[in-house]
Structure 1
Amino acid sequence: MSSSIIQFHSSPLTDTVRLSRHSPCFLGLRSSPSSHVAAMATKACAKVIDVKAVAMQIRQDIKAEIYRMKEAVGVTPGLAVILVGDRNPIENYIVRDKKRACETVGINFLEVRLPEDSTENEILKHISLLNDDPSVHGNVFQIPLSRHMKKENLWKGVRIDKDVEGFHPFNIARLGTPIGEEPRFVPCTPLGCIELLHIYNVPISGKRAVVIGRRNDFVGLPAAHLLQREGARVSVVDSKTSNPEELTRQADIVISFAGRPNLVRRSWIKDGAVIIDAGASLAKDPNRPGGFRWVGDVCYEEAIKLASAMTPIHGGVGPMAMAMLLQNTLLSAKRMHNFE
């Protein structure tokens, strides 16, 4: 690897500007600010972070809040997903998963399937129609799309106040700006990772953190900015970094989005580090349901012997990212209808 590293340094931030205000408590859910932490208190010392349990609790709170909103103002949040083509089994699976997640909490789900050969302008036309639909509060499209598509142009087409995936250039840019200029939405996977650290009471301010993988600047860099806003000293490691093992070994917190199976080995890990493996990849496995299995960035068998806490491979960060998508959709609906 050639030498390339992006480093962020900041002083600890006050609680009033922490991005955790996007958490269920900030949404005005019925649970108290410490409800999730209290619910997980018996798990706090566990090696394996119980992501599924945390995500399930957040979903339950979202469901209760959606019911309260519907009863009070007659509004049900709606999420629309545009899928181009139907040849990719993984993309079809992800869309079905989003549909099931919406159904479990009471969010209306609209699926728009477009032909494989749809042009960029045709997709933008459908995005515009969903932007103008008052029953739709979250407007997303499933990626990757056909190779001829410029995803950045499509993200720009999504209305900022319906960009529940947080990929609009406005929202991405706001994460890197001074505190006080907050994004409307934060990308779901990075937000889910930070919420896990909060819920498990992992200290962030003043700690050294490493984010592995940029993921086209829509996952890795947002995670780095969120950690920076929490007061961490952050380094971003990518394929051009000359000393990734050394940098990662110094980190108290490691969040990986590389999508490279077993990239992070025992020698990369500091004793007692907290590891969030968000780089899980689907590998073909005919012996598993659906024909696929998850493989993480971090060699789990080696890392678990050193880490103080770590996400699992199966059911890792995915459930938390999905919970954040549902949460952002609810937040969008509440904003549009001035519901507290």
Structure 2
Amino acid sequence: MTRIIDGNEVGNRIRNELEGRVDTLEQQGVTPGLATVLMSDDGASETYVSMKQQACDEIGIESYHHEIDPDTSSDVLMDRIDALNENPGVHGILVQMPVPDHVDEQAVLERIDPMKDVDGFHPENVGRLVAGNPRFKPCTPHGVQKLLAATDVETEGKDVIVVGRSDIVGKPMMNLLIQKAPMGNATVTVCHSRTTDLAEKTKNADVVIAAAGVPELVDGTMLSEDTVVVDVGVSRVDADNERGYEIVGDVEFESAKQKASAITPVPGGVGPLTIAMLLYNTVKAAGLQTGVDVTLP
């Protein structure tokens, strides 16, 4: 029987363990602090930020939210980041993407103090990840590792296909899986929009991680028996229901679960782990910046 990997269960378990680590920091006079910065009127971005704030509040992380008019100069955003970099009560900084077109996204990422870069996207932190000495692992790929571990999926020596080559998921996912480290040591192939015959690649995989942002790109005909499938995609598509839409992943769930030994649903799979690992990175950042030894789950 195919195992449906419950991301809410795994995420809640990690959050509960992190709450104890927050208590450890509190006993040393340190309250972990996460600053979120929103420079957008996008409803989805507002929802994501709200969810992150709520998650912080639930385990005792202080959350500081900053909204910036998307029509204002990029200098306003940069100045706000500079102030947060200098604030000792803020241990993590997250600028919600996307930012407006007139703002240089890469410049924003580089402006954040790498010690407070809890997304793990600053070039210094990317370099440390590639070198095998990560400070902060990007939240979604790290969450995928946690899901695989919780499902007792061994990556060592396995053939893993990552579908998608984004800086946020695909590339860091590949780098994590090839490391000489727990939940690494895999043989990884990264596929993308110019890959010839994607199905030929996925059929030979022990694990398929779909992160291309294309609704239901992978279906059951593209999988072999007993493949483990992790669906990172989240897309809204038209549907004949009361809302007029439904949320689907990059994997066609019903056909894929007929072949997979384990599969993540959308929603309720990878999403909860992304937020859990943001909390993880914030707690880690607080420990690193204050010198308090915190053993993370």
TM-score in same-fold range (> 0.5): yes
SS at structure 2 position matched to 1:236: strand
1:170 and 1:183 in contact (8 A); partners too: no
Deviations 1:25-58 (CA, angstroms, capped at 9, x unpaired): xxxxxxxxxxxxxxxxxxxx86100111010011
1:276 and 1:310 in contact (8 A); partners too: yes
Deviation (angstroms), 1:256:
1.1
Deviation (angstroms), 1:176:
2.1
Partner of 2:33: 78
Deviation (angstroms), 1:121:
2.2
What are structure 2's unaligned runs of at least 5 residues? none
1:52 aligns with 2:5: no
Alignment match of 1:68 (pick from 21, 24, 28): 24
1:214 aligns with 2:165: yes
Mapped to 2, the partners of 1:297 and 1:134 lie a distance apart of: 40
* Count of residues in Structure 1 that have an aligned counterpart in Structure 2: 288
Amino acid at match of 2:158: K
Mapped to 1, the partners of 2:89 and 2:77 lie a distance apart of: 19
Q: Cα 1:330–1:284, aligned 2, differ >3 Å: closer, same or farther?
A: farther
Mapped to 2, the partners of 1:281 and 1:118 lie a distance apart of: 30
1:160 and 1:170 in contact (8 A); partners too: yes
Alignment of 1:153-172 (within 5 A): 153-172=107-126
SS at structure 2 position matched to 1:242: coil
Mapped to 2, the partners of 1:84 and 1:134 lie a distance apart of: 23
Amino acid at match of 1:96: S
Partner of 1:26: none
Alignment of 1:1-340 (within 5 A): 47-70=3-26, 72-85=27-40, 87-177=41-131, 179=132, 182-215=133-166, 217-229=167-179, 230-283=184-237, 287-288=242-243, 293-340=246-293
Deviation (angstroms), 1:119:
2.2
TM-score, scaled relative to structure 1: 0.82
TM-score, scaled relative to structure 2: 0.93
What are structure 1's unaligned runs of at least 5 residues? 1-44
Q: What is the RMSD computed on CA atoms of the aligned residues?
A: 1.5
Deviation (angstroms), 1:118:
2.5
1:82 and 1:113 in contact (8 A); partners too: yes
Identity of aligned residues (%): 37
1:256 and 1:279 in contact (8 A); partners too: yes
Q: Cα 1:46–1:55, aligned 2, differ >3 Å: closer, same or farther?
A: farther
Deviation (angstroms), 1:115:
0.5
Mapped to 2, the partners of 1:206 and 1:66 lie a distance apart of: 36
